[in-house]
């Protein structure tokens, strides 16, 4: 997910500056990669375009590739907090939908960047794979939160001996026996987390492709409406 403002209390000046710097670096990286290819864009070039030093770059990203993928783990933390704090009357899917909708409030302001990012990732398969690995890790954490909301005992942390290694891309079908064991989370929390993550990607990609015909919030809620309806076949114009 892209950097966006958290719900609740407005962030302080220091946090807003950090968010602005991170966003500037991500956008600079994606714009440069769209023209030159991610492999030909250096940390120095990204930093210069964003108006910061290369040393500052590594205060926000662990590696060169993370800037193109736009990994921001604080986004996932905010979504999980919102799911935990959602009213008890909401179903799990409603709690997840509202948490994501709040986090994606400002997507419409960044349509060009989202479209460029998609182009960059598809031109560089290793970046696409890196993004998939990051999403698998976030899905596991979201599934833990959903399971806890539904009353399951807290699942082990990803780095504990009992938990799966979630920082890697999913195993291929023929080697699934060696993949991470997430059975302790339960089927529904794991499926909802994975489907919700995919729903966000589909909503953004569809909205970018449609141009200005629909607002992003409308597209997002249509996608989650299909999920809530059990993915029943829609009318011809749905």
pLDDT of residue 164: 45
| Residue 116 belongs to a domain | yes
pLDDT of residue 215: 82
pLDDT of residue 104: 84
User: Rounded to an integer, what distance in angstroms lies between the CA atom of residue 215 and that of residue 137?
Assistant: 29
Which residues are CB-neighbours of 227 under 8 A, at least 6 positions away?
Answer: 93, 195, 196, 199
pLDDT of residue 232: 85
Which stretches in the chain have pLDDT values below 50? 1-9, 160-179
| Residue 85 belongs to a domain | yes
pLDDT of residue 191: 93
| Residue 66 belongs to a domain | yes
Give the range of the structural domain holding residue 179, as residue numbers without chain letter.
13-228
pLDDT of residue 107: 77
pTM of the model: 0.71
Q: Domain with 183 in it: what CATH number?
A: 1.10.357.10
pLDDT of residue 122: 84
pLDDT of residue 162: 43
Which residues are CB-neighbours of 190 under 8 A, at least 6 positions away?
Answer: 139, 143, 182
CA angle in degrees (0–180, nearest 5) for 7-13-19: 65
Domain count, the chain: 1
Reduced to 3 states, what is the DSSP secondary structure of residue 120?
helix
| Residue 237 belongs to a domain | no
Handedness of CA 34, 36, 38, 44 (dihedral sign): negative
Which residues are CB-neighbours of 101 under 8 A, at least 6 positions away?
Answer: 217, 220, 221
């Amino acid at each position: 997910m892209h950097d966006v403002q958290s719900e609740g209390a407005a962030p302080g000046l220091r946090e807003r500056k950090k968010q602005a710097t991170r966003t500037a670096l991500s956008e600079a990286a994606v714009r440069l990669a769209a023209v030159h290819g991610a492999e030909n864009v250096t940390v120095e070039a990204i930093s210069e375009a964003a108006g910061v030093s290369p040393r500052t770059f590594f205060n926000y990203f662990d590696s060169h590739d993370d800037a193109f993928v736009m990994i921001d783990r604080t986004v996932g933390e905010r979504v999980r907090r919102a799911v935990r704090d959602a009213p008890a009357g909401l179903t799990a899917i409603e709690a997840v939908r509202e948490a994501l909708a709040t986090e994606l409030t400002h997507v419409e302001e960044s349509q060009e960047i989202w479209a460029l990012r998609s182009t960059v990732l598809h031109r560089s398969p290793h970046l696409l794979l890196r993004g998939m690995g990051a999403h698998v890790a976030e899905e596991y954490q979201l599934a833990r939160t959903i399971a806890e909301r539904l009353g399951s005992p807290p699942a082990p942390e990803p780095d504990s001996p009992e938990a799966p290694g979630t920082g890697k891309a999913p195993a291929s079908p023929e080697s699934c026996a060696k993949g991470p064991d997430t059975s302790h989370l339960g089927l529904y929390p794991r499926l909802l987390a994975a489907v919700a993550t995919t729903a966000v990607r589909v909503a953004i990609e569809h909205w970018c492709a449609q141009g200005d015909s629909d607002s992003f919030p409308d597209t997002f809620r249509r996608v989650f409406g299909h999920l809530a309806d059990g993915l029943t076949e829609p009318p011809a114009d749905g």
